[in-house]
Structure 1
Amino acid sequence: MQSIEVPHLSPYIIDLLEEKVAQYNKPDFISLDPVSIPHRFSVKQDIEIMGFWAAVLAWGQRKTIISKCLELALLMDNAPYDFIRNHQDSDLKPFLDFKHRTFNATDTLYFLHFFQTYYLQHDSLEYAFSKHISASNETIENALIGFHNMFCESEHFPSRTAKHIATPARKSSCKRLNMFLRWMVRKDNHGVDFGIWNNILPAQLVCPCDVHVDRVSRFLGLIKRPNTDWQTALELTASLKQLDPSDPVKYDFALFGLGIEGFAK
């Protein structure tokens, strides 16, 4: 990975980010956020499946995202892991009407196919990411690239579905997958992120760059790149590592929260 020049952070910025992490990294944050979807489940694989789907569908109004995810869960009898492993072709007909923005029935059916094929061979979705990196890797870049290639390699893969699984190889900031990995990997006692995966380090995570995070980060001088791409996400994460090298992505709470508050508009 190329060297990234990081800005000097003033005491004001440091104090602001620490204050906002404390404000938003708590259960009160959950109800209005897509992370509320996997929090409805207790089985590890249910959390993975619905967390992955909630992250992939996370564009547009949060209320609509949550509603569409609840619709998906209901189509899977509110038991995603059991449905994924045991459904028959005849059980798939109701999914033909599912749609969220540009995510349509073709995409939905392939996701179900991928999950079924994968979970019949592996116990946890973690391996699909962690198999591509080691503890020596600075970030999850190779995990995201490897997962994308694995997801798309099936002979049944519809080319249109590739746009829903981002990869640094296409210079994407990978906002949604970075958010999903934050949910699965980060470990603390605050009740928002799950921390149910152990083979990816919190220090390797990359901060999700949604519109709120991007705007606030630019205002605070955490990123300088004119466009938002994978290098921008790495630049932001490098800036945040000055505050906590072992857990930089916890500041996603602060940046997103400030954005929702209208900071820097």
Structure 2
Amino acid sequence: MNNSVLKEFLDSKVKEYNNPIFIESDPIQIPHRYQLKEDIEISSFLTATIAWGNRKMIITNADKMMQLLGNSPYDFVMNHTESNLSKLHGFVHRTFNSEDFIYFIKALKNIYLHHGGMETIFVNNHNQTSIQPAIHKFKKVFFSLDHLKRTQKHIGDPNKGSACKRLNMMLRWLIRTDNAGVDFGIWNSISPSVLSCPLDVHSGNVARKLGLLKRNQNDAKALTELDRELRRLDPNDPVKYDFALFSLGVNEKF
């Protein structure tokens, strides 16, 4: 399949899946409940953090997280007491447990109090071609408080070879603007051109079948390879093809 045919095919799939119907079965439905910018970004981050495994379970447990935060995540982060945190005990999603959850709340408060919020870290640390350096910096800042070493595994680091699927998904939600009402585009000081595809088993397998990816592992090197190919198809909005690659894999068993 040559580039023009491939682009036409994938663009048609983006149009098919980049629409509000997508929200109904996707974890992005959780941040879509909110209007306040900080509520959207915190709920996006926490939802993306547990976004591995069965999608219904992800949505169920992300909903449970929001309920535990009183459905006001920013207010909870900024004003919680130790008594409030004790109510988080017992939460678990696969290997993400209540100790991790409690640390995430404390780390988020530190970021909003002392680092200008999540957006500021990403604005100040990405470069003209990639958001990945900002992910590395975000992880360093996020784990600057005392924490259990095990909690670090819940945030990837591109400098250590991770494709950072979950953070790249969150960044697509928050940075990319579309006319369909799926992605939020509330971090509009960062260009969508620097975003990376949330590379997982579904998007990776489809990308290989289409000749967009040769590397077998879904790691940082594979992400760089996929980024390069998707930016050739659309240098301004390469990550829109996540809708096509993911949905071809999940919905069409491509």
Using structure 1 for the length normalisation, give the TM-score. Answer: 0.92
Match of 2:40 in 1: 47
Match of 2:98 in 1: 105
Structure 2 Cα separation of the partners of residues 82 and 146 of structure 1: 25
Moved more, 225-234 or 27-36: 225-234
Match of 2:206 in 1: 216
Residues 90-239 of structure 1: matches in 2 within 5 Å? 90-121=83-114, 124-134=117-127, 137-154=128-145, 156-239=146-229
Structure 1 Cα separation of the partners of residues 116 and 152 of structure 2: 24
CA RMSD of aligned residues (A): 1.3
Structure 2 Cα separation of the partners of residues 190 and 170 of structure 1: 35
Amino acid of the residue matched to residue 106 of structure 2?
Answer: H
Structure 1 Cα separation of the partners of residues 111 and 218 of structure 2: 32
**Greater relative contact order (Cα < 8 A, sep 6+):** 1
| Deviation at residue 123 of structure 1 after TM alignment | 5.3
Amino acid of the residue matched to residue 24 of structure 2?
Answer: S
Match of 2:239 in 1: 249
Do the aligned partners of residues 219 and 144 (structure 1) sit closer, same or farther apart at CA in structure 2, a change above 3 Å counting?
A: same
Is this contact kept in 2: 1:45–1:125, CA < 8 A? no
Deviation string 1:245-264 (CA, Å, 9 cap, x unpaired) is: 01100000000110112443
Is this contact kept in 2: 1:84–1:112, CA < 8 A? yes
Deviation string 1:150-197 (CA, Å, 9 cap, x unpaired) is: 11121x222111100101111001100000000010012110100000
Structure 2 Cα separation of the partners of residues 10 and 116 of structure 1: 46
Percent identical residues? 46
| Deviation at residue 9 of structure 1 after TM alignment | 3.6
Structure 2 Cα separation of the partners of residues 17 and 148 of structure 1: 33
Q: In the alignment, which of 8, 11, 15 is matched to residue 15 of structure 1?
A: 8
| Deviation at residue 50 of structure 1 after TM alignment | 0.5
Deviation string 1:73-93 (CA, Å, 9 cap, x unpaired) is: 111111111111111111111
Poorly superposed stretches of 4+, deviation over 4 Å: none
Amino acid of the residue matched to residue 56 of structure 1?
Answer: T
Q: In the alignment, which of 48, 58, 62 is matched to residue 51 of structure 2?
A: 58
Using structure 2 for the length normalisation, give the TM-score. Answer: 0.96
Deviation string 1:16-42 (CA, Å, 9 cap, x unpaired) is: 101110011110100110101100111
Is this contact kept in 1: 2:10–2:241, CA < 8 A? yes
Structure 2 Cα separation of the partners of residues 18 and 229 of structure 1: 25
Structure 2 Cα separation of the partners of residues 261 and 41 of structure 1: 27
Amino acid of the residue matched to residue 142 of structure 1?
Answer: P
Question: Structure 2 stretches of 5 or more lacking a match?
Answer: none
Larger helix percent:
2
Moved more, 110-119 or 247-256: 110-119
Count of aligned positions: 254
